């Protein structure tokens, strides 16, 4: 079905970017655990900035408004999983803050706090991956089956309105990925222009 290919392609692409950032966070922890490599807090914060600003504030609301709401209008089959995903979306900001706090404790406490920090990263990454798996396993196939051409046009327009800043970036080379993220993130987190203040 051609009408469904384009919006789902955009959604899957965004999931791939997020998965790459999650894997990169794990790689930072693994390098520290296995080789004693230093974790650059600015790099870690830049990755969290991407997940916060793009995934939490753009990607998830697009899913809720454009895709999930249309699925609810067409069928009751997905109500339970959509309710669960909605709760996970709502708790995303809290999970991000908890991970940031674990990073601060690690920065301040050093080796004594590394195990707790590593466990916090593993929990965060595991939950995020499971969330995306549920969407791809339970929601996308149903969307392909029940949404019509008008639905897909609206979904496509929503996903086109905000482009993933990591679209087209290498997701295999973590160093290059981190460089891209640090370049995108605003000062003082990264090298980008300072974030504009909200009124």
pLDDT by position in tens, the chain (length 199): 334 445 688 889 899 989 989 988 998 999 999 999 888 888 898 889 889 988 998 999 999 999 999 999 999 999 999 999 999 999 998 999 999 999 999 999 999 999 999 999 999 999 999 999 999 999 999 999 999 999 999 998 888 887 787 776 666 666 777 777 777 766 665 666 665 443 3
Q: What are phi and psi of 56, to 5 degrees?
A: -75, -40
Assigned token pair, 166: 């990591």
Specify the CATH number for the domain of residue 15: 1.20.120.520
Judge whether 199 lies within some domain: no
Domain-located, residue 167: yes
Residue 82 domain-assigned (yes or no): yes
For the chain, the domain total comes to 1
How much is the CA Rg of the chain, to the nearest whole Å? 18
Q: Structure pTM? A: 0.84
Q: Is 195 inside a domain boundary?
A: no
Q: What is residue 191's three-state secondary structure?
A: coil
Q: Does 197 reside within a domain?
A: no
**Domain that includes residue 158, residue range:** 2-184
Q: Is 112 exposed, middle or buried (0-12, 13-18, 19+ CB in 10 A)?
A: exposed
Cβ 69 vs Cβ 78: under 8 Å: no
Are 52 and 45 in contact by the 8 Å Cβ rule? The answer is no
Peptide bond into 136 cis (omega under 30): no
């Amino acid at each position: 079905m051609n009408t469904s290919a384009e919006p789902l392609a955009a959604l899957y692409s965004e999931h791939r970017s997020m998965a790459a950032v999650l894997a990169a966070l794990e790689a930072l922890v693994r390098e520290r655990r296995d080789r004693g490599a230093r974790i650059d807090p600015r790099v870690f914060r830049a990755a969290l900035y991407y997940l916060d600003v793009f995934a939490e504030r753009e990607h998830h609301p697009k899913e809720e408004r454009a895709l999930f709401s249309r699925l609810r209008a067409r069928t009751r089959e997905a109500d339970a999983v959509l309710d669960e995903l909605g709760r996970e979306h709502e708790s995303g900001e809290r999970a991000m803050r908890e991970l940031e706090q674990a990073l601060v404790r690690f920065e301040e406490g050093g080796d004594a706090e590394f195990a707790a920090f590593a466990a916090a990263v593993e929990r965060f990454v595991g939950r995020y991956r499971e969330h995306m798996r549920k969407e791809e396993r339970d929601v996308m196939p149903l969307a392909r089956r029940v949404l019509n051409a008008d639905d897909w046009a609206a979904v496509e327009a929503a996903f086109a309105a905000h482009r993933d800043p990591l679209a087209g970036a290498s997701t295999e080379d973590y160093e290059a990925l981190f460089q891209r993220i640090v370049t995108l993130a605003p000062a003082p987190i990264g090298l980008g222009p300072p974030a504009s203040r909200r009124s």
